[in-house]
Amino acid sequence: MDKLLVRGGRALRGEVVISGAKNAALPEMCAALLTDEPVHLINVPRLHDVRTMRRLLDNMGVKTETHGERGGMSFVAPDALSPEAPYELVKTMRASVLALGPLLARFGEATISLPGGCAIGSRPVDQHIKGLQAMGAHIVVEHGYMIAKLPAGQQRLRGARITTDMITVTGTENLLMAATLAEGETVLENAAQEPEVTDLAEMLIAMGARIEGHGTSRIRIQGVERLHGCTHQVVADRIEAGTFLCAVAAAGGEAFLRHARADHLDAVIDKLLEAGARVAAEGDGIRISSPGGAELKAQSFRTTEYPGFPTDMQAQFMALNVVAQGTAMVAETIFENRFMHVNELARLGAQIAIDGRVATVTGGARLSGATVMATDLRASASLVIAGLIASGETLVDRIYHLDRGYDAMEAKLRGLGADIERIQ
């Protein structure tokens, strides 16, 4: 199992290129299921999750190809394919559930393994099921699989007004994709407004879908009979960008994040500014400079849906808070169990107390390197950031979590001057 060895204490300087977003590329790969024409994606990140999604699509009978240097991928989903997602693939990547909506909309059936929980929470998919049922699908859960079908004699899903009980990102994406081929109008109330949802909607519009209101909490979709192929560029990964912002803020130095979108990171950038870092949009990216975490002020925040502070940035910002001055309260409101990094940060010397969904960080810690264990994707990133500021060597074990969602993280950090290597 690969590990990362980080020798801390170096400032980060230079330029890093931000990749396409995992959370946009994965639904967009599934959107290719909505048409038999070729779909081309550009700027697909090189990630384990992308390879898993490709295997899932290959397994169904989709013809997939990669090409070019710029993360080019193309997909052709023929009329005859097997609309199934087996447990073996779904268990390693929850986003496999994004195949459900498109398969049901185009083929009238789908059998998808239930994703189950993961290290950050129980993560049910009841809202995806409820929404598709409102559109006329029959869905039963048997032997760990969601078996979805249209009623006998019905060719297409039917448009419906759907209000999800909570804001769900992949739920919104699944229902949005399903609604593009449904009969009549679908209105998604309480829709997620994340930039990845908007990027998916723009791709679907390029395929011929009729969608309005994406980027707001009410999305209206007029179903069409068929969609066609398209070429679409995957939006930049705001979480990868936010992770590098926190790394530079904590380690000190100056960096330019090429392709990063400041307008997708308002909540994180506001907190970095309040902490005392200098961050600004510049040309095709974001520039940051920081005197180092120990000179910054720890920041309280609570995670909420977009445009609030992203839960996917909570762990990385906490690593910065640990060395910054003062005390900060961090409230996690999206997932019930997303503080798994806290005990590992404590092994490096962090002072953090957890009370339910709130972690109180007493800043000013002097971290010293140790062996730590990554428990989920963003927890891994927070441990890497902590390693960059700890004295001595930090060995981050189980980095397969990191590889799920970061494109060449250690190479990018090395490009900024970090002392970090992968040990196989």
**Dihedral over Cα of 359, 363, 366, 367: its sign:** positive
Binding ligand PEP (rule: CB under 6 A), the pick from 378, 398, 401, 412 is 378
271 is in an annotated binding site: no
Binding ligand UD1 (rule: CB under 6 A), the pick from 78, 88, 161, 166 is 166
Q: Are strands 230-233 and 253-258 parallel, antiparallel or unpaired?
A: unpaired
If binding is defined by CB under 6 A, does position 170 make contact with ligand UD1? yes
| Site track 104-143 with ligand PEP (rule: CB under 6 A), x = hit | ----------------x-----------------------
What letter represents residue 321's amino acid? Answer: N
**Distance from first CA to last CA of the chain, Å, rounded?**
6
Closest CA to 19 of 89, 69, 74, 67: 69
The one segment of 119-127, 138-146, 226-234, 387-395 that binds ligand UD1 by CB under 6 A: 119-127
| Site track 351-380 with ligand UD1 (rule: CB under 6 A), x = hit | ------------------------------
If binding is defined by CB under 6 A, does position 407 make contact with ligand PEP? no
Q: Strand pairing partners for 327?
A: 362
Binding residues among 291-320 for ligand UD1 as defined by CB under 6 A:
311-312
If binding is defined by CB under 6 A, does position 271 make contact with ligand PEP? no
The pair phi, psi for residue 116, each rounded to 5°, is: 75, 180
127 is in an annotated binding site: yes
Helix axis angle, 169-180 relative to 100-107, nearest 10°? 10
- Shortest distance in whole angstroms from residue 34 CB to ligand PEP: 21
DSSP string for residues in 276-290:
T-EEEEETTEEEEEE
List all residues 6 or more positions away from 138 whose beta carbon is below 8 Å from its beta carbon.
148, 149, 150, 151
If binding is defined by CB under 6 A, does position 194 make contact with ligand PEP? no
The pair phi, psi for residue 56, each rounded to 5°, is: -60, -45
Q: Strand pairing partners for 111?
A: 84, 147
Binding residues among 289-348 for ligand PEP as defined by CB under 6 A:
312
If binding is defined by CB under 6 A, does position 124 make contact with ligand UD1? yes
Nearer to ligand PEP, 23 or 186 (CB): 23
376 is in an annotated binding site: no
> 3-state SS of the chain: helix, strand, coil percent to 5?
35, 30, 35
Could you confirm whether 118 is annotated as catalytic? yes
Nearer to ligand UD1, 94 or 106 (CB): 94
Separation CA 389–CA 178 (nearest Å): 46
Tokens encoding 307 = 């445009």
Binding residues among 4-33 for ligand PEP as defined by CB under 6 A:
23
- Shortest distance in whole angstroms from residue 384 CB to ligand UD1: 18
If binding is defined by CB under 6 A, does position 19 make contact with ligand UD1? no
List all residues 6 or more positions away from 194 whose beta carbon is below 8 Å from its beta carbon.
23, 169, 305, 306
If binding is defined by CB under 6 A, does position 95 make contact with ligand PEP? yes
Which stretches of the chain bind ligand PEP, using CB under 6 A? 23, 94-95, 120, 312, 377-378, 405
| Catalytic residue ranges | 118
Binding site members for UDP-N-acetyl-alpha-D-glucosamine: 94, 123-127, 312, 334
Chain residues binding ligand UD1 by CB under 6 A are 23, 26, 94-95, 121, 123-128, 166, 168-171, 311-312, 334-335
